[in-house]
Structure 1
Amino acid sequence: MMFSVIIPVYNRPEELHELLQSLLKQSFTTFEVVVIEDGSMKDSRAVIDLFKNKLRINYLVQSNTGQGFARNNGMRIAHGDFFIILDSDVILPSDYLLKLSLAIKNRNLDAFGGPDAAAEDFSALQKAMDFAMTSFWTTGGIRGKVKDPAKYQARGFNMGVSRKVYEATGGFLDPDQGEDIEWSIRIKKAGFKLELISEAFVYHKRKNTLRSFAKQAFSFGRNRVNVSRFHPGAIQVVHWLPTLFLLFTLSILVSFFANRLLFLLGLSIFLLWSSGVIITSAIKNSSIKVGILSWITSVSQLWSYGLGLPLELMAKVRKG
């Protein structure tokens, strides 16, 4: 099996350097790299020059189309049997491709998705953002722990498809609006086997600020509605939980003026949840600071996603 590692990049040569450096360390070496420069003002030519004699790299420069279409263009020129799709802000453990090759062969997979994690040397905020995106207390841990293949949907920062899947389904339909979730659903509807490979994790080195992290979560909520344009059943009960969390926290404020007993009950539940977040993260990361930051990122993630989904749904209804 030969892998083609597909990496769209937009104004992030430093990130690309770290990712390519981790590809150099892979124990499984039968792969090529396809880097798609998606209309960057700050290109990665200098980085490519550093690695072109160390890795088999195909560097495609194009006008900006969005990462979904950039990935399609990368797969179009790739030579591998299986395409590994990564975001530029991830770093790979040295056995990442080896674990993929074994799982794909042993489980006869046509496509896969993998989880993300925080490395030990990540900043406190990066570890807190990772916790907010992967914890039981926020997302239920569904990004990396889904046991039912029928319910699993791969994410574009760490996913892959066989050449057969790409040729049969045509790749991503949207440039950057829940395109990975939409394609996951379409892949399974086409009869292909897509599952989570939980051991094939990547270190997701997010460069977000708290503000941009909240903005991204808001977009995720909106994107779920966009996916429902193609797949009407894409919005399920679980996707409304962040909105319920937002309404619950707002109701605590309202009940302070309306009913003190309800206020105390709601506040107690919120404090129990908050304690669970802080303690779990602090123990996991051996840091009270990360625990407190995890509470901030968790609330921000839930509120933002919980607001984005209904607002986009109302906008969709108004448009007819």
Structure 2
Amino acid sequence: MLKYSIIVAVYNRTGEVKELLESAEKLDFERKEFEFLFVDDGSKDGFQDFIESYKSSSNLQTRAIYQENKGPGEARNNGMRNAKGQYFIFVDSDCMFPPHWLRTIDNDLKTYKYEAFGGPDTCHESFSPLLKAITYSMTSKLGTGGTRGQKKSVGKFYPRSFNMGIHRTVFENIGGMNKLRHGQDMDFSQRIYDAGYKVGLIYDAFVYHKRRTSLSKFYRQIFNWGVARINLSNAHPSMLKLVHLLPAMVVLGLIALSIFTLFFPTLGGYLWTITGIVYLLIILTALFQSFFQYKNLKAALLSPITLNIQVFAYGFGLLKALWQTKVMRRKEAEGFVKGYYGKKKLESR
């Protein structure tokens, strides 16, 4: 049996898979120990022709299976059903690897005996300033509290499907990912915790996450994460913490302050001044943190923008989900479906 099956769900992302494989050729790990298993979720961009004609320059073991379009969760489940490895590792198609990635995972598994694990995502130095700014807002404590793969965070670490692994017995015992439109990996991680498995963060096993996005797509993505948080909390109440409610509290607080100012303009003006000073300090902190992290002025200037988008999109998404589930009594809240990736329907993953 192979030790690792690296499972990549693909939907119209042939260009990204080429970059993924280019970085995989440089992985510092014995080739006979792992495979890349691509699960094509009904692509129409020539992926099958590409992967079946791919010739590895370093003897990578690659194979692919194909299914009708059923979404990333079922694609990953299909991958687990067909994987040959002792461990299953999920990565997104828009990721690239540093050479030490798999070796670091292997070393930590030998040391700590994790049954489920994950690593962070970060930026490669070649990424655009916008991608660096988005990565800053998604990984900084100002943006997420450090919950996305940081050594110190305000909450429990949940492995996520852009860089997540499990022992095959986990899948055999608790099954695969569910059919949630968003947050499938978070639900899966919570079920793993609930089953009593040993879960760990492998901090140095990071991937370079090359998100194909714009500011508008980023807004829709984060909005849907806010929606997903309420759906997740309905299934797992422990997954809704104060830190997740903070963006919604910011939105409601600003609305309340605006209404208050209409009736009490003097005191309202004083409170707006205090709010403005706090806001300016946060913006300056984001700007300087991003600049010292990436040494890129454009990325630093974009970081306060992406941070604002992250906070307000998440807050609005969470509030919409609360309205749908608590007031309208829907079983599952729904965010952006059409136009989620800027088109009329989901065209790539």
C-alpha deviation, 1:84, in angstroms = 0.6
Amino acid at match of 2:271: L
Q: What secondary structure is seen at the aligned counterpart in 2 of 1:2? A: strand
Q: Is residue 32 from structure 1 mapped to residue 35 from structure 2 by the alignment? A: yes
1:218 match = 223
Q: 1:150 to 1:2 in 2, by over 3 A?
A: farther
Q: Partners of 1:22 and 1:241 in 2: how far apart?
A: 38
Amino acid at match of 1:124: P
1:266 match = 275
2:320 match = 311
Give yes or no for contact 1:85–1:158 (8 Å, CA) kept in 2. Answer: yes
Q: What secondary structure is seen at the aligned counterpart in 2 of 1:93? A: coil
1:49 match = 52
Amino acid at match of 2:329: K
Q: Partners of 1:121 and 1:270 in 2: how far apart?
A: 31
Q: What secondary structure is seen at the aligned counterpart in 2 of 1:3? A: strand
Q: Is residue 301 from structure 1 mapped to residue 310 from structure 2 by the alignment? A: yes
Q: Partners of 2:252 and 2:298 in 1: how far apart?
A: 28
Q: 1:314 to 1:80 in 2, by over 3 A?
A: same
CA RMSD of aligned residues (A): 1.9
Name the % identity.
38
1:12 match = 13
Alignment of 1:170-249 (within 5 A): 170-174=175-179, 176-249=181-254
Q: Partners of 1:45 and 1:148 in 2: how far apart?
A: 41
Alignment of 1:93-132 (within 5 A): 93-132=98-137
Q: Partners of 1:96 and 1:43 in 2: how far apart?
A: 29
C-alpha deviation, 1:231, in angstroms = 1.2
Which is helix-richer, 1 or 2? 1
Give yes or no for contact 2:94–2:211 (8 Å, CA) kept in 1. Answer: yes
Q: Partners of 2:15 and 2:289 in 1: how far apart?
A: 32
C-alpha deviation, 1:214, in angstroms = 0.5
C-alpha deviation, 1:225, in angstroms = 1.4
Amino acid at match of 1:49: E
Alignment gaps of 5+ in structure 1: none
Q: Partners of 1:31 and 1:163 in 2: how far apart?
A: 14
2:22 match = 21
C-alpha deviation, 1:47, in angstroms = 3.0
2:344 match = none
Q: Partners of 1:251 and 1:91 in 2: how far apart?
A: 44
Amino acid at match of 1:298: L
Q: Normalising by the residue count of structure 2, what TM-score does the alignment of the two structures yield?
A: 0.87
Q: What secondary structure is seen at the aligned counterpart in 2 of 1:51? A: coil
Q: What secondary structure is seen at the aligned counterpart in 2 of 1:144? A: coil
Alignment gaps of 5+ in structure 2: 331-349
Amino acid at match of 1:48: I
Q: What secondary structure is seen at the aligned counterpart in 2 of 1:284? A: helix
Q: 1:50 to 1:250 in 2, by over 3 A?
A: farther
Q: Partners of 1:17 and 1:81 in 2: how far apart?
A: 26
Give yes or no for contact 1:182–1:227 (8 Å, CA) kept in 2. Answer: yes
